[in-house]
Chain A
């Protein structure tokens, strides 16, 4: 029925293959258009699927598995290459292809001076395909395949400027961190297969509730191992260190992969496996806890950074924390809703930041910007829209989605005061750090007068405007999203009304903005004084809690040391030594024995004679 949905995946794949094989043969411009076209068509197909799905009764929208071919059949292990069409996957399709398309269009202009233009679009297409595979997979195996492919695409795009050492290192770091997550997921898949004898979502999810008690050990293990993957991909503590470094990639990449789509895969995973997670409430608390901690933790780091992209990267981590908080306390559709609104306004922020960087000729340090609201009025507006959405100013999309989560963190069955408090605190920080960037960048006077910032051309501005529009209005679709996703999660989430809490949360966000304003207005001397007073804290935050250094000390260095130890001691002086020694000892013994080998023929003859006689003697007389 939805077999044509395969085209959603196949089109970007064709784009990737075509562009990577013929990239240098077709003109630059056409290559870019081709890259956009495949994603655009893919988006159109998604809309068709959406239309058809909406035509069905809500309970019939689930579980449409479309098989391409049987992938493997080995012993009791059978697996089809199949995609699953249901509201959740189509919802993700819409975000991935929709936002993806806008970012492709934006890149047409942003990357136009890059010599490897077509390679960039090939990689972007690969990413879109991988992400679609991830969300479309109908079983855990292809989920892992998609999971690893987005990791690959992210790796390729972070390291796109492959001549830059920092980019190469950042790419490797991201890849290795993600492989750690992949291994966790592979083990989870093994456990799932052992217990359910299948990897298909349909089989697993239908069998799980009957097979396992709540908080069964096995279920806890499976859910926790899946979480390793989810946390690695979504940059949650303690697997988060790659995300800020990932900003080495081109800005559209940061917008698409490291803000709007890929990093939210962890949230999608938890939502997709909600049946399993509901059987493991302990894991859910764990998710919510980590989510809330990451939200605050990332927020604190974001407050002191000066690189415009890094601040937004930390805010992404922080917002992902919100999403995990939401799915952790069991309000899956709110988590998905925040995922959607976040995709819009965070892509908007990144693209606006990209526009700023573009206009400033590659400058990323906000201390060197300022007063850009005159030079780049359009970007100014779009960035401001993104910022207010992120800060959760009432009636913007961020407000609706974040409010729903904060409210549930208190009122939902699994919610409590602590989660709520942390969520509100994080909301306050959000307002602060994003407006800190805003004030630094757009308000006041230019701090580096020698550069002449310019507004970006229309082709870059158009996606910004569309995203700004979506960021502002999509908040009102909350109810629709909840209804649409309801069948997947078994029930629609309950929306809690609590005027007091709502006010507190909004005030927290506004308070953050206000503080940012106050700090910005304060004179430089006083600011320096405050910095001095708070030096230990400031240094701790500015150096990202020294986590990179701690990992380096605890993991990287020992791994290298043990590797060297293995090579030198165990291999050369151990195994190899023993083997060589056996040979040498044999030689030594032979040297002793070779005394008998006098080299004298007549001695040999005599020994032969003696031997013969002895043998004869034995044969004849004994």
Chain B
């Protein structure tokens, strides 16, 4: 089932290469049905998921490279399930939105589907090498998507993005091999299986460098301050449909990596460095928000606000307690939905008016009442209005930080910084919303049309989720909760004595 979900987009991407370039109808049909099918299947998983089981479900394993015992092993727990559904959902929206694409529709959609497959693969892979393979599979389509269909300094942006990410991921590969070697030394069996590896105790010194390698890869992907400098360039240059997957789903792979690898594999390194990372996350929260206040370009504004929101997610993860981590997972979903909706709206506005600069916008609400309402809802969710989904995640994260034993002394400062960022969020979000939709502008094009049925249909699911998660987050958290507990309390059964011998003090 999982394999199917991951491979449907991939196969469709390959199939598209055999369709004639100008057969737009067929291209559309293939890509929509692939994205839609994989979304429906993932919904099926959501319904049949057993929420009381903290372990992996829907597992399947096929030998891939038997010599090294590398397996094609996939499975989901509560955390990856939510992210999986989020990814299929956002991809479906992104692909629907990109159907209007004029330039090279076939290749664009093929790459989008490949990107979707890569992202999905990252969330379901249970073998480190498989994880790595999907991790790189995400990167390649993005490179071309931004480089060929982007705008502005797209080559600069895409090169920067790829180089940045590659630095991290290659170091991660080193650490992946390192873990397996450590496990091999202890037990004599070669395995790349995550569920087996997490029980290996690694001596603290090795933990430290392996953790740092993994951390760098994930921190760049999230991105955590100060590894964020690719993000504004990339987001501004990125075409909107790609951006939806990029910000909604791909940035979550980094945070997911923290949860799947860093926390269970290297508990001691995390305990040692957790507060430093949390400090960077907190700085990122304020920093992103503060810069966002000064932005005029809507895409850049949302990009910097994303840095701020992703800082929240990282902060919650390194609070290292159930509330914080669950809040983070929920916030990943929330941010995915909100940021995607915001970018969709930016895309729609740009399409209508030909600009993204706040200085040129005024009073669009008059001619676009439906967009006005939708935009307002999304804005409010983004600035964390209690009662909508953004706040639920933020509140849980802050609560986790506040009660975190790891961050005890710094928690007050972090929460105050987060509070400052929330105030800033209300400033820049309202600035964005009011600046574009309210007041009057005599220069507005007279023939502005409100969003049509199709565009509204794209935004509607996001709006419904924004309200629903805000009103009733329990079903989401119930699915995440057991998995988070099991991640936070992994028992180290293999090779414990070595760790004790070499452990400091």
Does chain A touch chain B in the assembled complex, meaning CB atoms less than 8 Å apart?
yes
B465 adjacent to chain A (CB < 8 Å):
no
A191 adjacent to chain B (CB < 8 Å):
yes
Q: Is the beta-carbon distance between B419 and A183 smaller than 8 angstroms?
A: yes
A74-B439 contact in complex given A163-B366, A559-B293, A579-B160, C-beta closer than 8 Å: no
B164 adjacent to chain A (CB < 8 Å):
yes
A147 adjacent to chain B (CB < 8 Å):
yes
Q: Is the beta-carbon distance between B403 and A194 smaller than 8 angstroms?
A: yes
A571-B291 contact in complex given A69-B472, A175-B426, C-beta closer than 8 Å: yes
Q: Is the beta-carbon distance between B477 and A183 smaller than 8 angstroms?
A: no
- Name the residue on A nearest B373 (C-beta): A20
Task: Tell me which residues across on chain B come within 8 A of A159, comparing CB atoms.
Answer: 434, 438
How long is the Cα–Cα vector from A102 to B505 in the complex, in angstroms? 74
Q: Is the beta-carbon distance between A576 and B474 smaller than 8 angstroms?
A: no
Could you tell me the distance in whole angstroms from the C-beta of B297 to the nearest C-beta in chain A?
Answer: 11
- Per-residue 0/1 for B453-477: is the Cβ within 8 Å of any A Cβ (1 yes, 0 no)? 0000000000000000000111001
Q: Which one of A165, A187, A579 lies within 8 Å of B439 (CB-CB)?
A: A165
Considering only CB atoms and an 8 Å cut-off, how many residues of chain A contact the other chain?
54
- Per-residue 0/1 for B307-325: is the Cβ within 8 Å of any A Cβ (1 yes, 0 no)? 0000000000000011100
Q: Is the beta-carbon distance between B293 and A73 smaller than 8 angstroms?
A: no
Considering only CB atoms and an 8 Å cut-off, how many residues of chain B contact the other chain?
59
Q: Is the beta-carbon distance between A168 and B438 smaller than 8 angstroms?
A: yes
How long is the Cα–Cα vector from A180 to B427 in the complex, in angstroms? 11
Q: Is the beta-carbon distance between B290 and A563 smaller than 8 angstroms?
A: yes
B63 adjacent to chain A (CB < 8 Å):
no
Q: List 23 A-B contacts (CB under 8 A).
A: A73-B477, A75-B400, A145-B387, A148-B385, A152-B385, A162-B365, A163-B366, A163-B440, A171-B434, A172-B431, A175-B426, A176-B430, A183-B419, A186-B398, A187-B416, A190-B399, A190-B403, A194-B403, A560-B294, A562-B290, A564-B294, A567-B291, A583-B160
B244 adjacent to chain A (CB < 8 Å):
no
Q: Which one of B232, B427, B440, B481 lies within 8 Å of A74 (CB-CB)?
A: B481
- Per-residue 0/1 for A148-175: is the Cβ within 8 Å of any B Cβ (1 yes, 0 no)? 1100100000010011110010011001
- Name the residue on A nearest B295 (C-beta): A567
Interface residues of chain B, those whose CB is within 8 Å of chain A, are: 160, 163-164, 226, 228-230, 232, 287, 290-291, 293-295, 321-323, 326-327, 363, 365-366, 369, 373, 380, 383, 385-387, 391-392, 395-396, 398-400, 402-403, 415-416, 419-420, 422-423, 426-427, 430-431, 434, 437-440, 472-474, 477-478, 481
Task: Tell me which residues across on chain B come within 8 A of A562, comparing CB atoms.
Answer: 290
Task: Tell me which residues across on chain B come within 8 A of A576, comparing CB atoms.
Answer: 229
How long is the Cα–Cα vector from A564 to B291 in the complex, in angstroms? 7
How long is the Cα–Cα vector from A563 to B403 in the complex, in angstroms? 31
Q: Is the beta-carbon distance between B398 and A575 smaller than 8 angstroms?
A: no
How long is the Cα–Cα vector from A184 to B392 in the complex, in angstroms? 16
- 7 other A-B residue contacts (CB within 8 Å) besides A74-B396, A74-B477: A74-B322, A76-B322, A147-B386, A163-B440, A563-B290, A566-B287, A567-B291
Could you tell me the distance in whole angstroms from the C-beta of B471 to the nearest C-beta in chain A?
Answer: 8
Could you tell me the distance in whole angstroms from the C-beta of B449 to the nearest C-beta in chain A?
Answer: 16
How long is the Cα–Cα vector from A130 to B327 in the complex, in angstroms? 25
| 7 closest Cβ pairs, A-B complex | A75-B322, A563-B294, A183-B419, A148-B386, A190-B402, A145-B386, A162-B438
How long is the Cα–Cα vector from A179 to B419 in the complex, in angstroms? 9
Q: Is the beta-carbon distance between A187 and B385 smaller than 8 angstroms?
A: no
Could you tell me the distance in whole angstroms from the C-beta of A104 to the nearest C-beta in chain B?
Answer: 22
* A/B pair count, beta carbons within 8 Å: 141
Q: Which one of A70, A168, A180, A563 lies within 8 Å of B474 (CB-CB)?
A: A70
Task: Tell me which residues across on chain B come within 8 A of A147, comparing CB atoms.
Answer: 386
How long is the Cα–Cα vector from A583 to B156 in the complex, in angstroms? 12
A182 adjacent to chain B (CB < 8 Å):
yes
A193 adjacent to chain B (CB < 8 Å):
yes
Q: Is the beta-carbon distance between B422 and A183 smaller than 8 angstroms?
A: yes
Q: Which one of A20, A175, A579 lies within 8 Å of B164 (CB-CB)?
A: A579
Q: Is the beta-carbon distance between B293 and A141 smaller than 8 angstroms?
A: no
Q: Is the beta-carbon distance between B164 and A182 smaller than 8 angstroms?
A: no
Task: Tell me which residues across on chain B come within 8 A of A618, comparing CB atoms.
Answer: none
How long is the Cα–Cα vector from A559 to B391 in the complex, in angstroms? 24
A595 adjacent to chain B (CB < 8 Å):
no
Task: Tell me which residues across on chain A come within 8 A of B420, comparing CB atoms.
Answer: 183
A152-B380 contact in complex given A72-B477, A576-B229, C-beta closer than 8 Å: yes
Q: Is the beta-carbon distance between B474 and A73 smaller than 8 angstroms?
A: yes
Q: Which one of A20, A168, A180, A560 lies within 8 Å of B423 (CB-CB)?
A: A180
A417 adjacent to chain B (CB < 8 Å):
no
A566-B229 contact in complex given A70-B474, A76-B323, A186-B395, C-beta closer than 8 Å: no
A168-B439 contact in complex given A72-B474, A563-B290, A567-B294, C-beta closer than 8 Å: yes
Task: Tell me which residues across on chain A come within 8 A of B472, comparing CB atoms.
Answer: 69, 71
Could you tell me the distance in whole angstroms from the C-beta of A226 to the nearest C-beta in chain B?
Answer: 14
Task: Tell me which residues across on chain B come within 8 A of A175, comparing CB atoms.
Answer: 426, 430
A77-B438 contact in complex given A72-B474, A194-B402, A571-B291, C-beta closer than 8 Å: no
Q: Is the beta-carbon distance between B387 and A149 smaller than 8 angstroms?
A: yes
How long is the Cα–Cα vector from A579 to B419 in the complex, in angstroms? 30
Task: Tell me which residues across on chain B come within 8 A of A11, comparing CB atoms.
Answer: none
Task: Tell me which residues across on chain A come within 8 A of B295, comparing CB atoms.
Answer: 567
How long is the Cα–Cα vector from A189 to B402 in the complex, in angstroms? 10
A405 adjacent to chain B (CB < 8 Å):
no
A385 adjacent to chain B (CB < 8 Å):
no
Task: Tell me which residues across on chain A come within 8 A of B293, comparing CB atoms.
Answer: 559-560, 563
A74-B326 contact in complex given A182-B386, A183-B423, A190-B415, C-beta closer than 8 Å: yes
How long is the Cα–Cα vector from A180 to B423 in the complex, in angstroms? 6
A148-B438 contact in complex given A179-B422, A179-B423, A567-B291, C-beta closer than 8 Å: no
Q: Is the beta-carbon distance between A187 and B322 smaller than 8 angstroms?
A: no
Task: Tell me which residues across on chain A come within 8 A of B232, comparing CB atoms.
Answer: 571
- Name the residue on A nearest B366 (C-beta): A163
Q: Is the beta-carbon distance between A163 and B419 smaller than 8 angstroms?
A: no
A136 adjacent to chain B (CB < 8 Å):
no
Task: Tell me which residues across on chain A come within 8 A of B434, comparing CB atoms.
Answer: 159, 168, 171-172
How long is the Cα–Cα vector from A51 to B292 in the complex, in angstroms? 53
Could you tell me the distance in whole angstroms from the C-beta of B250 to the nearest C-beta in chain A?
Answer: 20
How long is the Cα–Cα vector from A144 to B400 in the complex, in angstroms? 18
A75-B323 contact in complex given A152-B380, A163-B439, C-beta closer than 8 Å: yes
Q: Is the beta-carbon distance between A187 and B415 smaller than 8 angstroms?
A: yes
Q: Is the beta-carbon distance between B291 and A566 smaller than 8 angstroms?
A: yes
Could you tell me the distance in whole angstroms from the C-beta of B307 to the nearest C-beta in chain A?
Answer: 10
Could you tell me the distance in whole angstroms from the C-beta of B302 to the nearest C-beta in chain A?
Answer: 15
How long is the Cα–Cα vector from A564 to B294 in the complex, in angstroms? 6
How long is the Cα–Cα vector from A563 to B369 in the complex, in angstroms? 32
Task: Tell me which residues across on chain A come within 8 A of B430, comparing CB atoms.
Answer: 172, 175-176
Could you tell me the distance in whole angstroms from the C-beta of B312 to the nearest C-beta in chain A?
Answer: 13
| A74, A144, A152, A182 pick with most chain B CB within 10 angstroms | A74
- Per-residue 0/1 for A60-101: is the Cβ within 8 Å of any B Cβ (1 yes, 0 no)? 000000000111111111000000000000000000000000
How long is the Cα–Cα vector from A75 to B363 in the complex, in angstroms? 46
- Per-residue 0/1 for A551-574: is the Cβ within 8 Å of any B Cβ (1 yes, 0 no)? 000000001101110110011000
Task: Tell me which residues across on chain A come within 8 A of B396, comparing CB atoms.
Answer: 72, 74, 77
- Name the residue on A nearest B327 (C-beta): A74
How long is the Cα–Cα vector from A311 to B268 in the complex, in angstroms? 63
- Name the residue on A nearest B438 (C-beta): A162
Interface residues of A in 299-318 (CB under 8 A from B): none
A71-B474 contact in complex given A163-B363, A182-B386, A187-B415, C-beta closer than 8 Å: yes
- Name the residue on A nearest B167 (C-beta): A582
Q: Which one of B291, B366, B392, B419 lies within 8 Å of A563 (CB-CB)?
A: B291
How long is the Cα–Cα vector from A172 to B432 in the complex, in angstroms? 11
Task: Tell me which residues across on chain A come within 8 A of B415, comparing CB atoms.
Answer: 187, 190
Task: Tell me which residues across on chain B come within 8 A of A76, comparing CB atoms.
Answer: 322-323
Interface residues of A in 116-145 (CB under 8 A from B): 141, 144-145
A176-B403 contact in complex given A165-B439, A575-B228, A575-B229, C-beta closer than 8 Å: no
Task: Tell me which residues across on chain A come within 8 A of B416, comparing CB atoms.
Answer: 187
A72-B164 contact in complex given A165-B439, A579-B229, C-beta closer than 8 Å: no
Q: Is the beta-carbon distance between A75 and B474 smaller than 8 angstroms?
A: no
